Structure 1
Amino acid sequence: MAKARKLKVFQAHFGFYDTIVAAPSQAAAMQAWGVHRNVFDDGRAKLTTEEAAVAAANAHPGTVLKRPVGSDGPFEVEPTSLPELPDVPHGKATRRTGKPAATKAPPPPPSDRSMLSKAEAALRAVDERRKAEEAELDERQAALDAEMAAAEETYVEARRLAQARVATALKAYREAGGRD
């Protein structure tokens, strides 16, 4: 019987939520969170021993549980509450630096994908031609194999008959007094 791997509970902050997951390793936790870079290296994720978090995560191993950031509420699969946002002052905000606010540059236009699409289509065409070529070569090889088998069979039968004639002629020669 295989021994079950001990689960550890990992915690990370993503967006508006604190998250936890019970997993056997950091890699498994990152997979559950759906992240590809190591969030443990930059300190965004860590092992937790908080009793309530450990109990909740172990009740749903491998499932990411969330709670609004900054709250001490329970971790849930789909939390219904949103995080509390601080009061934002109304009116004009003053800047400490005295520098004008930087304006956001408009996003760049979407890249032209037409060249990539053409290249991908050309690659597919090359692959399709190769598949057709391989199918044709396989058919020709099968025909050659059949022809070779038939030729081998014809040779074996002709040689058997020729050997029988040699044996018969040798027997008649010896009976007639001939020597090898």
Structure 2
Amino acid sequence: MKSRIDDTSADIKRQVIENFKSSPMFAIQLYEFTDVASISQLMVFARYVHIDAIEEEFLFCSPLTETTTAADVMNLVFNFFSKEHLDCGKLIGVCTDGAPAMLGCRAGFAQLVKENNSLVVSTYCFIQRQALAAKTLLKGLQGDPFSVIKVANFIKGSALQTRLFHKLCKDMDAVHSSL
């Protein structure tokens, strides 16, 4: 079974890379996060033209093993490009999550990419803006949504609380039993 999964995964990756290579241009979106093991990870998604449509695919995920500077991110991305023989000259856009290492105006990833290709357009992920806006709402506007978020975080914060919530829902004959 493992062999089949590995073969399927390799085939999907090969197809995505082939389509990506045949595109006249592409853009990437980067998201840096820390996983449950406190290891920084970098996820890269790509948008490219395939036949007559714009495709969006997951490109790769890789750990940032030491530091999370813009140079580290740049090395990971461009090492992947060189390993897969992808043409960096086709890069026209970069979307980042807004972390200083990504967006910094002097030494951020977006700026480093622009130094290599001044035509690249950099943007800031819209979802991150919504999250930041929600954190700065006036106290009077926060109300119920934040109570719901606190309860959900409490329940999902530990395996025991999740199991107890599941049991409570079953005991109450609820239609749903998990968050």
Q: TM-score range by the shorter chain?
A: under 0.3
Q: TM-score, normalised by structure 2?
A: 0.21
| Structure holding more helix per residue | 2
Higher alpha-carbon Rg: 1
Q: TM-score, normalised by structure 1?
A: 0.21
| Structure holding more strand per residue | 2
